[in-house]
Each structure stands twice: as C-alpha cells, then as structure tokens.
C-alpha cells in the first residue's frame, strides 16, 4: 500500500474524504485504501475483513458506501424440504446464514418432519408493497376534503403512479388521519422486486398531484403508516410484501418418532407459549422463533435484514385432528424480492440460484412469490422443531451440544 501513501496522508489531514476515493482510483483500490486508513486510525488489524471473493465494483455503486471489506457469516443448508406451493413445487435445500449454533440443525429436523408428512402446503394471500406519505392540512374540514379528493380520483392517481414504473401496479389506496395530518397508504404490486424504491418514486409523483389539487402540504414521503421496518398492528392486519401461509398435517406417530414427544405435550407448549405467553407479553407476533429463520435466510438471500421485524409478526397455529395435528404459520408481512438490492451480491445470488429464483421470472412476480413460499415453509420447519424440542425438554441439551 506504499503507493497509496499520499491518499492515506490526505485522509488523515482531512483534505480528502473516504467517500471520494472512487473518483480517482478503482473500487478495489479504494476499499484497500480505506481499510488501511481505518487500521492505522484504530490500531486494529482488519485482515479477515479484507478477505472476500465478491466483485466490489457494483457493490460499491449499489449496495455499500465507504466499503472497507466484508463480514463473513457461516452459511449452512437445511433440507431437503418438500413444498407443495403454487409457485414453489418440489424439494429444496434452504440456505441459512447464521452464527447461532443449533439453528440449522433444528430447521433441518423440521424439514425432515415436513417432508415425511408429504410436504408443506403454501399459499400467498396478498402481494403488495406499501408507502404512506403524510400531508399537513389547515383544519379538520380541510383534512376531510383532502381524503375525499383522493378517494374520488383514484383512477387519475393510479395512472400517474404507474407512469413511473414498468412493472408496478397500484392496487389500493387507504387514508388515515390524525387531527390535521393525512396519511395516504398506497399499496403496489412490484413484480420480482421487493419494491421499496419503486413505490417511493411512484408515491413522490402522486404526492405532487395531491398537493396541487388539494392544497395539502407534503411533510414526508414516509409517514410511518406504511409501516416500514417497524412492528405495527396495521401491517399485521393489512399485510405488507407477501402475506403467506404454510401448513402441514402431522400424524401422532410422526410427532413421537421425529420430535420424541406426544401430541398433547406439543399442543400444551404451543398454547401456553405461542398463544397465552405472547398475549400476556402483548407481543405482536404469536410464534416460537420465526424471526430466527427469516433472518438467516434473508442474510443468505440478499434480502433487507431490517425487514425481519415485519417477519416476526408471524402467527403459528396448531389444530387438533383425529390422527394428529395440522400445524401452520401465517406471515402477514414478508417483504422479499429476487432482483435489486442485496440480490446483486454474488454470494447471495448463488443462494438465490440454489432455490431457482435468481432474477426475474417468466411472469413478473413469480420468482419473488416462489421465494416467499420457500421462506414460509422454512419458518414452519423451524417452528415445529423448536416446539418439539421444548415439548420433549430437549432445548437446553441441543444448545449445549451444538451451540457452544
């Protein structure tokens, strides 16, 4: 790095900024210079951070500013998992990026149980990405006039919104008020993209029209009624991203042979933990550890990890049947995509390819829906395995063996 001594000196004296390096040197060299500078400033070696295989040119342009290297998370696979979805059909190996010992092993056991039971039924009930700008109005009367104008001009709003996007389709408009504040929740179909950028751009153009026609002042393109990256009742009820459910019928003997417990004990843990315990805690999610699987798969598959908070709204249900149980998970909000964002990073692209969902499907949206079905089935596997371990009093033993 001696040839870059001048750059290091300029960073140290403040005459050059970290973000400006790519203007003068290659992306690879800029990363090297920044990392060396940080090492010298902190006295900390970052040699492992500097070992990576991904091409940095596109990453530094699209995914990460001031890049100095990468964080490597161990990647495991669980499966095969048999899925009987509308988009995901067949057996799949689930990629999970995690540092939590026992997680992959647990999901793997759940995958085995589901596969032996004939596979997970999976269906998508809703597919929309939302953005909810907030306007200020002069009075309550003005707020009502603004809401009325929006509802009576949906066709005009839809036409203008869809001018900004090739695949985006405005599906629904809802208004919510708080005093003189008007929140307009737009719901878009976004094809195979997760769609936040798409709906933000479309919403911005629509907001200009609303302000012009109503006199309401746009305060923020996001007024937190979307609700993005925050747990909320509105998201739990109305959905965001993919609303997807996965279920499987397990026989009494399968519960006994795979999970080493009985049906009554499994149901008791579910009722007292997932339902009563979550209600007592006023949790917005009623599940065992859905976010665990979602986080591991999101990191592996280039999804936005912050959306794990919405995935945690999952509700797990177990119904008694004559010969066993029907276990299911419902995820009201699973924002996923197979193009854009972190899906461009080559390691994550490999994992998407493993599932057969990289890029855009032949029909816009089918790859993202397939991915959502696979993740939901993986969540079901994780829920069953953890509940089974707790019913059999095996949880501590598993973590002692695999988690240390």
**CA–CA separation, 129 vs 196, rounded Å?**
7
Judge whether 48 and 20 are in contact, CB under 8 Å: no
What 3-state class would DSSP assign to 244?
A: strand
Whole-number Å distance between alpha carbons of 299 and 341: 12
**Helix axis angle, 252-259 to 366-391, nearest 10°:** 80
Which of 81, 87, 76, 100 lies closest to 300 in space, CA to CA? Answer: 76
* Contact call for residues 315 and 289 (beta carbons, < 8 A): no
Number of Cβ within a 10 Å radius of residue 16: 19
Four-point Cα dihedral 228, 231, 235, 240, nearest 10 = 50
Place of tokens 């990629």: 95
Residue 96 · residue 107 · CB < 8 Å: yes
Q: Are 384 and 113 a contacting pair, CB within 8 Å?
A: yes
Helix (H, G, I), strand (E, B) or coil at 286: strand
Q: Two tokens at 233?
A: 């009742």
Closest CA to 332 of 356, 309, 361: 309
Please give the structure tokens belonging to residue 77. Answer: 């696979």
Q: Which residues are catalytic?
A: 100, 304, 399
Question: Tell me, what DSSP letter sits at residue 302?
Answer: T
Q: How far apart are CA 292 and CA 311, in angstroms?
A: 10
Please list the residues that pair with 184 across neighbouring strands.
175
Q: Is the C-alpha dihedral spanning 395, 100, 308, 195 positive or negative? A: negative
């Amino acid at each position: 790095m001696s040839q870059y001594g001048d750059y290091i000196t300029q960073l140290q004296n403040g005459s050059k900024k970290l973000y400006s390096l790519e203007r003068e040197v290659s992306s690879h060299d800029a990363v090297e210079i920044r990392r060396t500078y940080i090492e010298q400033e902190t006295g900390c070696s970052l040699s492992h951070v500097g070992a990576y295989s991904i091409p940095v040119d596109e990453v530094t342009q699209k995914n990460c500013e001031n890049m100095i290297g990468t964080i490597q998370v161990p990647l495991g696979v669980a499966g095969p998992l048999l899925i009987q979805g509308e988009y995901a059909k067949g057996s799949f190996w689930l990629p999970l990026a995690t540092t939590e010992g026992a997680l992959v092993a647990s999901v793997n056991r759940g995958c085995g149980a589901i596969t032996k039971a004939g596979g997970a039924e999976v269906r998508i009930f809703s597919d929309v990405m939302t953005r909810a700008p907030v306007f200020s109005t002069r009075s309550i009367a003005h707020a009502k006039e603004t809401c009325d104008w929006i509802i009576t001009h949906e066709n005009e709003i839809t036409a203008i919104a869809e001018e900004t996007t090739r695949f985006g389709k405005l599906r629904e408009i809802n208004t919510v008020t708080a005093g003189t504040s008007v929140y307009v929740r737009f719901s878009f179909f976004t094809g195979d993209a997760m769609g936040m950028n798409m709906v933000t751009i479309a919403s911005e153009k629509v907001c200009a029209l609303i302000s012009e026609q109503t006199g309401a002042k746009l305060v923020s393109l996001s007024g937190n009624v979307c609700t993005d990256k925050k747990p909320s009742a509105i998201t739990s009820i109305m959905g965001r991203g993919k609303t997807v459910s996965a279920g499987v019928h397990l026989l009494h003997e399968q519960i006994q042979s795979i999970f080493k417990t009985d049906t009554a004990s499994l149901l008791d843990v579910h009722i007292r933990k997932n339902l009563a315990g979550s209600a007592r805690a006023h949790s917005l999610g009623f599940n065992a550890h859905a976010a665990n699987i979602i986080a591991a798969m999101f990191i592996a598959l280039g999804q936005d990890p912050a959306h794990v908070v919405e995935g945690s709204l999952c509700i797990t249900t177990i119904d008694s049947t004559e010969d066993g149980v029907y276990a299911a998970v419902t995820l009201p909000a699973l924002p996923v995509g197979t193009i854009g964002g972190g899906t461009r990073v080559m390691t994550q692209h490999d994992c998407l390819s493993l599932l057969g969902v990289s890029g855009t499907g032949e029909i816009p949206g089918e790859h993202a829906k397939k991915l959502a079905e696979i993740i939901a089935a993986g969540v079901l596997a994780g829920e069953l395995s953890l509940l089974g371990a707790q019913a059999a009093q095996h949880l501590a033993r598993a973590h002692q063996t695999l988690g240390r």
